[in-house]
Amino acid sequence: MNIAELESRLHELREKLRSLNLEINEKQSEIDQYVSKRDAVHLEIKNLSEELKKLNQERDEHRNKINKLREQLEEKKKILEEKRALHFQVKQELRMLKNVRENIEEIEERLKKLDWILQTKPLPKDDEKRICNEVEKLQSELQLARKKKEYINKLQELDIEIKNLKEEIQKIREEIGKSREEMLPKILEPKTLLREKIKMLKEKADQWHNKYLEAKSKLQMLEAEKILLTSQIIDLQNTIKRYREEENSKKVSELKEKLKHQAKAKLISGKKLSFEELKILIEDDEWYSSA
C-alpha cells in the first residue's frame, strides 16, 4: 500500500471517527434525557411517599384512639357486669325479705313508747315480761326493716349506675364506629390511591432506567469502538510519517548523489566549486581518501 492509499485510508478513518463522535454525543444526550425523566419520576415518587407517610401517621393516630376507646369500652363492660352481678345478689337478698314490713317509723315509735313504760311505771312481772318480749321482737323487726330499706336503696343506686354505664358504653361504641367511618374516606381510600399511583410510577421509572441501561451499554460499545479507531488512526499516522521520512531521506540522498557527480565533473574540468559542492565531496569518504 503506497502513501496515497495510506492517506486515503487515514481520511476514511477520520471521517468514521467524526461520525462516531457525533453518534456518541447523540447517545450521551439520549442517556441524559433518560436519567432526567427517571429522576423526575423518582422525585414524584418521593413526594407521594411523604404524603403516604403522613397518612400512615394519621392512621396510627386513629388506631391508637380506637384502641383506647376499646380499652375504655372493655373496662366499662367489666364494671357493668360487676354491677349487674351485685344487683342480682342484692335482689336475691331483698327477695328473702319480701314479707318484712317497711314501717320503720311505726316500730321506732312503738319501741320508744314501750321503753318509756318500762322506765317510768312499776309493772307486774308478767306485764314486764310481755313488754320485754315485744321489745325484743320489735327490735328484730326494725333490724330487718332497715336491712330491707338498705337493699331497696342499693337497688335504686345500682339501677341508676347500670343505666349510666349502658349509656356510656353506647356512646363509646358510637365513637368507635364514627372513627372507623372517618378512616375510610379520609385515610384508607387516599392511601389505596397513593399506593396504586406509586406502583405505576415505579414501573415507569423502571422503564426509563432500563432504557438508560440499554443506552449506556450502547455508549460503552461506541466508546470502545472509538478507542480502537483512535488507535488505528495513530498507528496509520505513524506509518505515514515513517513513509514520508523514508521518502524524504531517499530524495535527499538522490540529490546529494546528483550534486556529487556535478561537483566531480566540475573539478575534472577545472571549474570552480561552490561551498555546497565542496562540502558534499568532503563528506564523501571514498573521494576524500583518494584525493
pLDDT tens sequence across 65-122: 999 999 999 999 999 999 999 999 999 988 888 877 777 788 778 778 888 888 887 8
Taking only the tens place, the pLDDT of each residue in 133-179 is 888 887 888 788 888 888 899 999 999 999 999 999 999 999 999 88
Q: Give the Å distances, CA to CA, from 132 to 112, 115, 126, 129, 267.
A: 12, 9, 10, 5, 189
Percent of the chain residues topping a pLDDT of 90: 50
**Residue 69: what pLDDT?**
94
SS3 for 71-86 is HHHHHHHHHHHHHHHH
pTM more than 0.75: no
Which of 254 and 17 is assigned the larger pLDDT? 17
Mean pLDDT on 177-183:
85
| DSSP characters over 97-144 | TTTS---HHHHHHHHHHHHHHHHHS---HHHHHHHHHHHHHHHHHHHH
Which of helix, strand or coil describes residue 259? helix
Q: How confident is the model at residue 1 (pLDDT cuts 50, 70, 90)?
A: low
- Give residue for cell 514520508: 244
Query: Looking at residue 124, what is its pLDDT?
Result: 84
What is the pLDDT of the chain when averaged over all its residues? Answer: 87
pLDDT for residue 253 is more than 60: yes
Is pLDDT larger for residue 165 or for residue 188?
165
- The model's confidence at residue 46, banded by pLDDT at 50, 70 and 90, is very high
What count of residues does the chain have? 291
> What does the pLDDT read at residue 18?
95
pLDDT per residue as tens digits for the range 236-247:
999 889 888 888
Can you tell me the mean pLDDT for 188-192?
A: 89
Does 260 score more than 80 pLDDT? no
Domain ranges for the chain: 3-262
What value does the mean pLDDT take over residues 258-267? 74
b vs e for 241-266, b when ≥16 Cβ sit within 10 Å of the residue's Cβ?
eeeeeeeeeeeeeeeeeebbeebbee
209-238 per-position pLDDT tens digit? 999 999 999 999 999 999 999 999 999 999
C-alpha of 20 from chain center: 43
Residue 283 confidence class, pLDDT cut points 50, 70, 90: low
**In the predicted model, is pLDDT for residue 45 greater than 90?**
yes
